[in-house]
Amino acid sequence: MFDIDLSRLIEQLLYQPDSPMIFSSGIFLFLFLGFTLIYNQLSKADTVRILFVTLFSYYFYYKSSGLFFWLLALVTVSDYCIARAIGGLEQRNRLLRKTLVFLSLLLDLGLLFFFKYTNFLGETLCTLLTDWGIYVPSVISGSYLQAVVWQPRDIFLPVGISFFTFQSLSYTIDVYRGTIRPLNSLLDYTFYVSFFPQLVAGPIVRARDFIPQIRRPLFVSSQMFGTGVFFIIAGLFKKAVISDYISINFVERVFDQPDLYSGLENLLAVYGYTLQIYCDFSGYSDMAIGIALLLGFQFPKNFDSPYKSASVTEFWRRWHISLSSWLKDYLYISLGGNRHGKFRQYLNLLITMLLGGLWHGASLNFILWGGLHGVLLCLDKMWHTLCPVLCPLSSLPDRHNPQPKKRPLRGLVGGLITFHLIAALWVLFRAPSFAIAEKVFHQIWYKFEPQIFLQWCTSYKGVAFLMLLGYLLHWLPESLSRMTRSLVIRLPLLIKALLIVALIWFVIQIKSSDVQPFIYFQF
Backbone angles phi, psi at 20, to 5 degrees: -65, 150
DSSP string, 117-142: HHHHHHHHHHHHHHHTT-EEE-SSSS
Q: Is residue 320 annotated as a catalytic residue, yes or no? A: no
Is the distance from CB of 296 to CB of 40 less than 8 angstroms?
A: no
Q: How far apart are CA 250 and CA 256, in angstroms?
A: 10
DSSP 319: S
Q: Where do the H-state alpha helices sit in 239-340?
A: 244-246, 252-256, 263-294, 312-318, 321-327
Closest to 176 in 3D by CA, of 60, 84, 238: 84
Other Cβ atoms closer than 10 A to 103? 17
Is the distance from CB of 87 to CB of 174 less than 8 angstroms?
A: no
Is the distance from CB of 519 to CB of 246 less than 8 angstroms?
A: no
Catalytic residue among 320, 360, 373, 474: 360
Q: How far apart are CA 191 and CA 54, in angstroms?
A: 5
Closest to 515 in 3D by CA, of 290, 254, 248, 287: 248
Q: How far apart are CA 105 and CA 118, in angstroms?
A: 17
Active site residues: 360
